[in-house]
Amino acid sequence: MEDVVGRGTVLAGRYRVLQLVGSDLPGASSWQATDQILDRPVRVRVLEQGNVAQALDAARRAALVSDPRLVRVLDVGTHQGSISYVVTEQVTGPSLSDLLARGPLSADQARAVVGEAAAALEVARRRGVHHLALRPTVLHVTPEDRVLLTGLALDGALLGQGLGDARSTTRADTVGLVRLLYAALTGRWPTLDGEIVPSDTLPAAPVRDGLLVPPADLVRGIPADLDTLCAVTLGPHEDGPHSPAELVRELEPWGEIRTIGLGEVLAAAATAPLEEQLTPAAPPETRPVQVQRQSVRSAFDEQAPAGTGRPGTPPPAHPRGGPAFAQSAP
């Protein structure tokens, strides 16, 4: 897309493109840009090929979900009738992939980061929206020590996902979250049969007798509950949690998100030799950082009041049926 959209391009007379930041999905590019009307930094995803119409529709549905841990969709449109784009709030802070360049996270940090992501996706699930393309590059920790997920619904649509029923798509996101947990604990990406979600940023998790090697066999000190959760959920059967809410119950309680030197995160991970993949390694020490956490359960029931759309945000659709969160939180 760089031959069509480049530095200085103004999309729809509003969004001035500044710098290419890349994308790990085919048929899309990601740019830093400025909203010239509101004078604020934004991120623009330019959709070049593939399931463009479905991706735009998915982005519009994602705009209806409000949660501080989900990147906000601000605008969806086309430029000159042929260039489709999605505008979101600016993404700051390293991704999980960046953090893992230094090695695995400590178990309590992995629990907290993935727990916050699961709580956010439970909010989305209750609006009928799923991610379906979870991978280490979409999970960020901001400078304010807040978990931020990018690509809700949009990335899955670009990959042709999202055609299953509610049960299968909910289970897919739950398995994706547990894969992120495995990666956070080990620094390895658990590749599954029929893989279509890219994760070239991490080495593949080792396999023994056709099964993923459990996290505790790779890293010392992993709690038994997390080790069992990964082994059971990523095993050959449909075991483990089947919704983000169930995963939240498996992970809680968790404490503060803990980070060190986020500004000094390395750009790429060092891949260990194959013979070292089964050698347990101790995770690095981390120091606690005071953060303001939102209650996980209260977040399930929290949505922006009707009719209070943000500037530039696609207007919310009228709800079908009763209130989206009429049911009690799990």
The tens digit of pLDDT for each residue in 200-250 reads: 679 999 999 989 999 999 999 999 999 999 999 999 998 999 999 999 999
Q: How many separate helices (H) and strands (E) can be counted in the chain?
A: 8, 10
Could you tell me which of 37, 40, 43, 41 has the C-alpha nearest to residue 12? 37
- Residues 278 and 281: their CA atoms lie apart, in Å, by 9
Residue 267 reports pLDDT greater than 50: no
Cis check: omega of the bond before 314, within 30 degrees of 0: no
Residue 255 in any domain: the answer is yes
Instruction: Tell whether pTM > 0.75.
Output: yes
The secondary structure of residue 304, as a DSSP letter, is P
For residue 281, give every residue at least 6 positions away whose Cβ sits within 8 Å of its Cβ, in sequence order, or none: 103, 104, 218, 219, 220
pLDDT digits (tens, 9 = 90+) for 5-16: 889 999 999 999
The strand pairing partners of 299, in sequence order, are none
Which class for 256: exposed (0-12), middle (13-18), buried (19 or more C-beta within 10 A)? middle
Q: Are 130 and 153 in contact (CB under 8 A)?
A: yes
Confidence tier at 94 by pLDDT (50, 70, 90): very high
| 3-state DSSP assignment of residue 297 | helix
The secondary structure of residue 156, as a DSSP letter, is H
Residue 20 structural domain: 10-89
Could you tell me which of 240, 223, 232 has the C-alpha nearest to residue 171? 240
Residue 2 reports pLDDT greater than 80: no
- CATH number for 247: 1.10.510.10
Q: What is the mean pLDDT of the chain?
A: 82
- Residues 55 and 327: their CA atoms lie apart, in Å, by 29
- Residue-wise over 34-51: b if at least 16 C-beta within 10 A, else e? bbeeeeeebbbbbbeebb
Question: Quick one: pLDDT at residue 61?
Answer: 97
Residue 246 in any domain: the answer is yes
Q: Are residues 56 and 189 in the same domain?
A: no
From 63, 89, 115, give the residue that closes a domain.
89
Confidence tier at 3 by pLDDT (50, 70, 90): low
Q: Are residues 61 and 193 in the same domain?
A: no
- Residues 89 and 71: their CA atoms lie apart, in Å, by 6
Question: Quick one: pLDDT at residue 283?
Answer: 52
| Identity of the amino acid at 22 | G
Residue 296 in any domain: the answer is no
Confidence tier at 266 by pLDDT (50, 70, 90): very low
The strand pairing partners of 10, in sequence order, are 16
Q: Are residues 117 and 195 in the same domain?
A: yes
Residue 53 in any domain: the answer is yes
- CATH number for 76: 3.30.200.20
Q: Are residues 149 and 175 in the same domain?
A: yes
Question: Quick one: pLDDT at residue 25?
Answer: 87
- Residues 299 and 234: their CA atoms lie apart, in Å, by 27
Residue 328 in any domain: the answer is no
Residue 291 reports pLDDT greater than 70: no
Domain count for the chain, please give it: 2
- Residues 95 and 70: their CA atoms lie apart, in Å, by 14
What token pair was written down for 323? 């209130």
Residue 26 reports pLDDT greater than 50: yes
In angstroms and rounded to an integer, the radius of gyration of the C-alpha atoms of the chain is: 19
Least-confidence region, from 34-48, 175-189, 220-234, 274-288: 274-288
- Residues 18 and 90: their CA atoms lie apart, in Å, by 13
Residue 252 in any domain: the answer is yes
Least-confidence region, from 25-29, 96-100, 189-193, 296-300: 296-300
- Residues 286 and 124: their CA atoms lie apart, in Å, by 31
Q: Are residues 75 and 170 in the same domain?
A: no
Q: Are residues 113 and 191 in the same domain?
A: yes
Q: Are residues 107 and 41 in the same domain?
A: no
Question: Quick one: pLDDT at residue 163?
Answer: 72
pLDDT digits (tens, 9 = 90+) for 111-140: 999 999 999 999 999 999 999 999 999 999
Q: Are residues 125 and 142 in the same domain?
A: yes
Confidence tier at 101 by pLDDT (50, 70, 90): very high
Question: Quick one: pLDDT at residue 15?
Answer: 97
Ramachandran area for residue 143 (φ above 0: left; ψ -120 to 50: alpha; else beta): alpha
Residue 184 in any domain: the answer is yes
Between 110 and 2, the more confident residue is 110
